[in-house]
Amino acid sequence: MDNSNVLSSLTYVNTERLIEAGELKIVHTEHALHLYEDTVIDSAERFHLTNVWDVSYRSFSDDANLLYLHTHRGVVAYKVYADPGHFVTMFKKLKNANY
């Protein structure tokens, strides 16, 4: 999708635990969650806004939050370090404008 149409973006972190040569490795990778007028896109999936019921977040430490995308397939959680308030507000404005 064209990034000029992005209404809000949020960086999230995936944490993966791997065992290599008998040693535990923890790998953190950053990805972007993008909100468009009709779609939410993460690094692996695309959710049409009609299939996203709500977006919420909860702080779980001083520097990190969990953002929850409530979809028709269940809840998807994203670990975010930035304040997700703007993303959530933009989503709620879009959903309320469509209903």
Q: Domain containing 10 — which CATH number?
A: 2.30.29.30
Q: Summarize pLDDT for 8-64 with one digit per residue, the tens.
A: 999 999 999 999 999 999 999 999 999 999 999 999 999 999 999 999 999 988 888
Range of the domain at 22: 3-97
pTM of the model: 0.84
The whole-number pLDDT of residue 3 equals 65
Token couple for 60: 């779980």
Question: First and final CA of the chain: distance in angstroms?
Answer: 25
The whole-number pLDDT of residue 45 equals 95
Q: Which amino acid is at 99?
A: Y
Residue 96's pLDDT band, with cuts at 50, 70 and 90, is confident
- The secondary element (H helix, E strand) that includes residue 95 is helix 85-97
Residue 6: CA count within 13 A, CB half-sphere = 14
The whole-number pLDDT of residue 24 equals 94
Q: Locate tokens 């990190």: which residue?
A: 64
Number of domains in the chain: 1
Cβ neighbors of 77 (< 8 A, separation 6 or more) are 66, 67, 68, 69
Let me know: does 59 contact 88? Beta carbons within 8 Å.
Answer: no
Q: Summarize pLDDT for 54-67 with one digit per residue, the tens.
A: 999 999 888 889 99
